[in-house]
Amino acid sequence: MPLYPLRFEPLLRRYIWGGRRLATLLGKSLPAGEDFAESWELVDYHDTQSVVRFGPLQGLSLRELCQRYAEKVLGTDRESDRFPLLFKFIDAQHDLSLQVHPNDQAAAALNPPERGKTEAWIVLHADPGSRLYAGLQPGVDRQRLETELSRGNVQECLQCFCPQAGECFLIEAGVVHAIGAGLVLAEIQQASDTTFRLHDWNRVCADGQPRALQIEQALQVIDFEAAPVVAQEPISVAEVEGVERLLECDKFILDRCDFQGQQRVGGDGQFHLVVVLQGQVMVDSDPSQLPLQMGQTCLIPAGLGPIQLAADGPVTLLDIYLP
């Protein structure tokens, strides 16, 4: 069956730190409740599966697509028939836990084996004074971190800064981090959900119990030699006007495109994930025949030729693909 640009049903996640800005800022349709924390836009992770929303392949999961049409979806240069990335939007109405993710080597040793989890954040909205915790202060080793955790003074060990909308941060596996209250982010990551919590700010759930911590596992996978986390410096892509590279690492490449009129995506033998951050575009060959609007995503399979995007007004979008 010929493939086409694919849209998927978002999967909503409710956590105690969520809110309602997935609706008010990104246009998501939310039921009643004040704890909507994440919208998983594209995921192939165990039983958590994105499902095609439109066209002849409607109802198929991303896993089924990758198994049936691996080369057409993922390209010829692929490690497996699993989709390697996960994309989500995050609404942090309250602070997230202080946590860390394992790298590929550490995750492969888990039972069952997992992928590591390197991720990147694009700041969509930042309330005044909102903060990110990312990385340890210089000289903090395992002993110091354990000591301050036991004393309840873990903040003394952390790098902390106030991000601005539009900034991008790479959080490599092994880096301690926490997203602070007042932030709305777009996150691209390896397709993993392995998280070890170090600290949860002494809060309790609705049942009056604290959330579980995994301090020993976290301490084992922290990279105590990790470089400081700083905002990525965008680099203009010389071949294409209005395109800048936000970051490139060994797990993914993230470009930001600002344009009005026509823009082409894909046609290079790789899949491309298109994420609209501002405005709307019409996507050529999209069976929905609906504009792709702010907060919506579309997967361009690797086997398609260049896909034309058309915008009547100014548009900002992300183009995410493999290195």
Q: Are 180 and 130 in contact (CB under 8 A)?
A: yes
Per-residue confidence in pLDDT tens, the chain, 323 aa: 789 999 999 999 999 999 999 999 999 999 999 999 999 999 999 999 999 999 999 999 999 999 999 999 999 877 788 999 999 999 999 999 999 999 999 999 999 999 999 999 999 999 999 999 999 999 999 999 999 999 999 999 999 999 999 999 999 999 999 999 999 999 999 999 999 999 999 898 888 888 999 999 999 999 999 999 999 999 998 777 899 999 999 999 999 999 999 999 999 999 999 999 999 999 999 999 999 999 999 999 999 999 999 999 999 999 999 99
| Alpha-carbon span 43 to 21, nearest angstrom | 21
| Alpha-carbon span 150 to 32, nearest angstrom | 39
User: Do 11-221 and 235-321 show the same overall fold?
Assistant: yes
Output the CA torsion sign for 195, 200, 35, 296.
Answer: negative
C-alpha to C-alpha distances, 203 to 146, 186, 189, nearest whole angstrom: 20, 25, 27
Let me know the angle formed at the C-alpha of 193 by 266 and 55, rounded to the nearest 5 degrees: 40
To the question of domain 11-221 being in CATH 3.40.50.720, the answer is no
DSSP state of 320: E
Q: Is 187 helix (H, G, I), strand (E, B) or coil?
A: strand
| Alpha-carbon span 33 to 31, nearest angstrom | 6
CATH architecture designation of domain 235-321: Sandwich (2.60)
| Alpha-carbon span 107 to 212, nearest angstrom | 20
Task: Check residue 96 and give its pLDDT.
Answer: 97
- Ordered by start, the domain boundaries in the chain are 11-221, 235-321
In a 10 Å sphere around its CB, with 0-12 CB exposed, 13-18 middle and 19+ buried, how is residue 35 labelled?
middle
SS3 for 61-104 is EHHHHHHHCHHHHHCCCCCCCCCCEEEEEEEECCCCCEEECCCH
Task: Check residue 103 and give its pLDDT.
Answer: 98
Task: Check residue 315 and give its pLDDT.
Answer: 98
Output the CA torsion sign for 248, 170, 301, 323.
Answer: positive
